[in-house]
Structure 1
Amino acid sequence: MAHQVFEKTIRIHFGDCDPAGIVYHPTYYVLLNKFHEDYLHEVLKVGFIEIRRFGVGFPVVGVHTDFVSPSRPGEDVTARLWIEKLGTSSVKFAFTISKGDELRLRCVETMVCVRLDTEGNFVSSPIPDEIRARMMPYVCEDGDERLTFRS
């Protein structure tokens, strides 16, 4: 892997879990969103709200997830993020969550850079150069392995 990977440890809390004692699947999306926001602040130097200073936003337009193995309260898991594809106005973020060598989750989220037109509608917009430049070290290169999914 020639590209950089953003990585953090996440603690699984009791409140993240369902009555079976495993992470409730929608909670993973909350955990990934918080982790993604950490990436935005630490790498892109701008959060979901502050990105408006560029006149754009990045709504999620697609998600593909495999829940591979359960996570339980009290576990420390490792979240990883990189970019599988960076287009003119879209970006495909790849995420994994693991406990040691055991994969717990793999996910790809596609986001589109948008701005508001004069009527208040979202329209596709090129990713601002400053944001693109900070993303570049995390983008997969030709030949890098991509996430594969069960279906």
Structure 2
Amino acid sequence: MSYQRSIAIEFCHCDPAGIVFYPRYAEMVNSVVENFMAEEVGYPFAQMIAEGYGMPTARLEVDFRKPSRLGDRLDWHLRVEHLGRTSARFLVTADDRIEARATVVWMDRDFRPAPWPAHIRPRFEAHHA
């Protein structure tokens, strides 16, 4: 199973040539992950941070396949590609434009990696392929 989200390419995403400025893709990948956590896992970033936890991105790999232009709408897909004890790697794609792998780490209140909580791990497993 994969999580899906659509994002419209707006003026704020583009460079003077009218195509997506590549760092904006990193923001969109993070947005897909953040919304996945809220909508599929049921644990929004705001709640996570308020409770003293975190899930920072430790690694981000991106392949840019084709430019996106102002006015395009990209259909994003996220699946859990790898699930470890304290980390997970998400495969995040947007149509034929971009393929990204974001590795995140669960951080406990003491800012150290910790095992996935019982309310998160099964949700990740449902999206693991």
Query: In which range does the TM-score fall when normalised by the shorter chain?
Result: over 0.9
**Could you say which residue in structure 1 is the equivalent of 2:99?**
106
**Cα offsets for 1:38-97 (capped at 9, x unmatched):** 111110111112124665311111010011100001111110000000011000011001
Paired residue for 2:80?
A: 83
Hey, which bits of structure 1, 4+ residues long, moved more than 2 A? Answer: 52-56
Which residue of the other structure, out of 31, 34, 39, is the alignment partner of 1:34?
A: 31
- The alignment status of 1:131 with 2:120, answered yes or no, reads yes
Conserved 8 A contact 2:29-2:100? no
| Structure 1 residue identity aligned to 2:104 | M
By how many angstroms is 1:116 displaced?
3.3
* 1:148 corresponds to: none
Q: Hey, what does 1:11 align to over in structure 2?
A: 8
TM (norm. structure 1) is: 0.80
Partner of 1:144: none
Contact 1:56 1:125 survives alignment (8 Å): no
Q: TM-score, normalised by structure 2?
A: 0.93
Indicate the residue corresponding to 2:18 in structure 1. Answer: 21
- Aligned residue pairs: how many? 129
Runs of 5+ consecutive residues of structure 1 not aligned to the other structure: 141-151
5+ unaligned residues in a row in structure 2: which ranges? none
Once the two structures are TM-superposed, the CA of residue 137 in structure 1 deviates from its matched residue by: 1.0
Whether the 8 Å contact between 2:2 and 2:79 is mirrored in structure 1 is yes
Distance 2:15 2:50 in 1: 39
Query: Could you tell me how far apart the structure 1 residues matched to 2:89 and 2:41 are?
Result: 15
Contact 1:62–1:110 (8 Å) recurs in 2: yes
Identity of aligned residues (%): 33
Question: 1:43 & 1:74 partners in 2: Cα distance?
Answer: 27
CA RMSD of aligned residues (A): 1.4
